[in-house]
Amino acid sequence: MRSPVVALVTAVMFAAMLPLSAFAGEGLSVVVESVPALLESLTIAFTDWAAIKAEVGTPGLTSDAPLDDRTAFARHVDADHAAGSTFALSRLSVHAEAWGFDTTDLEWEAQITAHGTPSTFILKLRDDFDMSVFVGRLDERGFARIQSYGEAIYWRAIDPVLAWVRTTELAIHNTAVLAAERLLILSSAYSMVELLLATRASGFPRLSENPSVATLVGQFESAFGAYLLIGSSTCLRFTPNPLLDLIGTSLGEAALDSLRAWLDSGEPLYGYAGLAVGYRHERGEPIGTIAFVYPNAADAAHDFEARVLLAESGGSAHYEAPVSESYFTLEGASIDGRMILLTVRPVNGQPRRLFQMLIYADAPFAGCR
């Protein structure tokens, strides 16, 4: 039985070829223009490397710099920043030599995961990067070149015996090279690369055409890093039990009483269309945004007070402590139409904690019941 992705790609190959549309923006806007709206349980992890390098004070850093400078940058990112997507960052010491580029050559990147599909990456290389260097590495290693939707896909069967396999991600084995835009689309599944190319060629409805996604992207275009969870089932990943592991912690009795009253009320928490978490720096300090987008404004208004209560006083099962000691403290909350917005300060100035609570599915304020 064919996978949904293979079926989608097969269907679109019989459709009339359409020209690429002009992309309206950079970063997240380009990503959602490339991702089909039909993928289910979708997560997009995004990193703006150009913004992080500028904040760190190394805007011109590239793989031409000494390795010590690049590893110092990676340590700075680990200490003070949070990368949503990290293609081959763990291979920083060898990737440029093996492939002609590394993380320091990227303007931004995104990792896309969905139900039934492997991770797929979109990498935006710096505008002055010589794409022929990377293509030369692919040719040297026997990658076949296949034309698809006006672009070149380089493909090779995985052979774990080859030494170069350990210098990068498995996604390199299916790579679309969009030379004019300095973009790479990579996945361990050829069908995923072709699916994204087909979407860019208007073969499928794009994620950017989803009003909820467009609303979220508008909030996070300036983020240094972000996670977007798309789909009405997103809330099912999280437990809404606010008292989990809170008894005996530093949370005050008044807060516990409020949580008990809400829990006993049986008041529902509605599902939403998407959840996004991201951060940026203000005056050298990380500030985070958490956004829920709902099908309608009435649902957002209904959930607002309960989600604020859970964000302020709910408990982390992973840390067995209040959210305010585990992930963030709440600085502000508002409703904007059908969206709930929370402004937060990550604990210990570590924005990676904001992403950890999603990875651990440890955000009681994001549940539904």
Closest CA to 285 of 254, 320, 331: 331
pTM, entire model = 0.89
How does pLDDT run across 30-63, given as a tens digit for each residue? 999 999 999 999 999 999 999 999 999 999 999 9
Residue 273 has pLDDT above 50, yes or no: yes
Domain boundaries, the chain: 46-205, 216-366
pLDDT tens per residue across span 229-242: 999 999 999 976 65
d(CA 225, CA 248): 34
Q: Give bridge partners of residue 230 from the DSSP assignment.
A: 42, 274
Sequence-distant (6+) residues with CB within 8 A of 271 are: 232, 233, 234, 235, 236, 368
Q: How many other C-beta atoms lie within 10 A of the C-beta of residue 184? A: 25
Percent of the chain with pLDDT over 70: 88
As a whole-number percent, the residues of the chain with pLDDT over 90 amount to: 78
Q: Give pLDDT, residue 315.
A: 84
The position carrying tokens 């009795």 is: 253
Rounded CA-CA distance 339/274 in Å is 10
